[in-house]
Amino acid sequence: MGKGEQASPAAGEGRCVLAVDVGNTSTGFGLFSADAGETDEPLGTWELTTPEKLTADEARMQVAQVLGVLARDVAEQRTLAPTRAATFAEPPLDAVLSCVVPSLTEAWSAALETACRTRPVVVGPGLKTGLRMRYSDPVEIGPDRIADVVAARATYGAPVVAVDFGTTMNIEVIDGEGAFLGGIIAPGLALGAQALSRAAARLPVIELHAPKAAIGRSTREAMQSGVVFGEVARVDGLLDRVFAELGEEAPVVLTGSGAGRLAPLVSHTAVVDKTLTLRGLHQLRLGVVRRR
């Protein structure tokens, strides 16, 4: 077992697997069936705002609350009896954690170990991903980026390009041989809008949706055009450059908080995949279990 791979019960001994994706802006949760395959959807998902600081006890409380909410959601979707639905709120079989905020990693890891009664698989340096890396220093790759790439390749094959709209806008590239070539990191949609209003005293905070026309008839519309249409133009232009370097076009997968809003505006054919990162985390956890 390599560094970063933690021990936990064998697959099939419990009910569920909890995947936790701690981002700079939001924290996503996905509850998977213990026997779910690599491309299976989670039983339920939930999202919370990521705080600047968090204790292990606070994180544990959030885990308990989220599991309770997901239990009710699963019960409603499957019309389960109350006694059957309650089992989903009990500690999962296993947990897998991705955290891009270093100061919160220890708290979340400790909270998951206590709440789930097993050491979580923490995605980071030393964890075997099953990916061939053509990145100069794989240690630098964020765990959320790894999860996106793993899930994109498993679901859509190779080559494939994943675009994740979050605090940053990340583009990840898998070549025709299934190897991770690398990617692109740029400021995200909300970050660009916040920078405008912070740096320019007379510019307001704007809602992040596309205006009716590219030429804004008000300051707010002009900002929305620059931020939203500018982001779309940047994504399209970067995809053109990626395909030129690949020597071929590839399926494009959009995920993250802005994917649904931006997909209709992007000129390249793309599919929106809301649970891509969570499925990638679940797949990485499956890889750890299989190598034991």
Residue type, 36: A
Tell whether the model's pLDDT for residue 133 goes beyond 50. Answer: yes
Annotated binding-site members for ATP: 21-28, 167
Residue type, 158: A
pLDDT over 90, % of the chain: 66
Tell whether the model's pLDDT for residue 212 goes beyond 80. Answer: yes
User: Looking up tokens 């009716």, which residue turns up?
Assistant: 212
Collapsing DSSP to helix, strand or coil, 179 comes out as strand
The Cα 124–Cα 115 span in angstroms is: 21
Higher pLDDT, 5 or 131: 131
The Cα 11–Cα 34 span in angstroms is: 7
The Cα 187–Cα 190 span in angstroms is: 8
Tell whether the model's pLDDT for residue 267 goes beyond 70. Answer: yes
Annotated binding-site members: 21-28, 135, 142-145, 164, 167, 219
Amino acid 190: pLDDT: 87
* Residue 165 tokens, joined: 């709209």
The Cα 17–Cα 34 span in angstroms is: 6
Annotated binding-site members for K(+): 164
Residue 144 annotated to the active site: yes
pLDDT over 70, % of the chain: 90
Mean pLDDT score of the chain: 88
- Place 87 in a pLDDT band, splitting at 50, 70 and 90: low
In angstroms, the Cα distances linking 79 to 46, 67, 72, 86, 183 are 19, 17, 10, 12, 43
Tell whether the model's pLDDT for residue 141 goes beyond 60. Answer: yes
- In this structure, how many other beta carbons lie within 10 angstroms of the beta carbon of residue 238? 17
Q: Give the mean pLDDT of 65-79.
A: 81
The Cα 124–Cα 121 span in angstroms is: 9
The Cα 172–Cα 182 span in angstroms is: 6
- Place 289 in a pLDDT band, splitting at 50, 70 and 90: confident
- Residue length, the chain? 292
Amino acid 7: pLDDT: 38
Alpha helices in the chain (DSSP H): 56-78, 82-86, 102-116, 143-156, 189-199, 219-224, 230-246, 259-262, 276-290
Collapsing DSSP to helix, strand or coil, 17 comes out as strand
Of 144, 148, 175, 273, the active-site residue reads 144
Query: 160-174 in b/e burial notation, b at 16+ Cβ within 10 A?
Result: bbbbbbbbbbbbbbb
**Is residue 205 within 8 Å of 190, Cβ to Cβ?**
no
**Is residue 187 within 8 Å of 276, Cβ to Cβ?**
no
- Place 186 in a pLDDT band, splitting at 50, 70 and 90: very high
Tell whether the model's pLDDT for residue 226 goes beyond 70. Answer: yes
Its pTM stands at 0.88
* Residue 23 tokens, joined: 């981002």
